[in-house]
Amino acid sequence: MALSDPQGILASPHTIINRRDERLDIEVIVNIINQYQVKQIVVGLPLSMDGSMGKQADKVNDFVHTLCSYTKVPVEFRDERLTTVSAKRLMQATRTRKTRKKVNDDAIAAAVILQGYLEEGR
pLDDT at 88 over 80: no
pLDDT (mean) for 5-12: 94
pTM listed for this prediction = 0.79
Tens-place pLDDT, residues 24-58: 999 999 999 999 999 999 999 988 778 888 898 99
Q: Are 33 and 40 a contacting pair, CB within 8 Å?
A: no
Task: Tell me what pLDDT residue 86 has.
Answer: 56
Cα distance between the two ends of the chain: 22
Task: Tell me what pLDDT residue 50 has.
Answer: 84
Q: Are 86 and 78 a contacting pair, CB within 8 Å?
A: no
User: What SS3 state is found at 92?
Assistant: helix
CA distance 45 to 34: 23
pLDDT (mean) for 101-111: 75
Residue 82, Cα to own-chain centre: how many angstroms?
13
In DSSP terms, which residues pair with 4 in a beta bridge?
11
Domains with residue ranges and CATH for the chain? 2-120 (3.30.420.140)
CA distance 113 to 96: 23
Compute the Cα dihedral for 110, 14, 56, 78 and give only its sign: negative
Task: Tell me what pLDDT residue 82 has.
Answer: 59
Percentage with pLDDT > 90 across the chain: 56
Degrees, nearest 5: CA angle 83-89-94: 120
Tens-place pLDDT, residues 52-78: 888 989 999 999 999 999 999 999 999
Task: Tell me what pLDDT residue 95 has.
Answer: 58
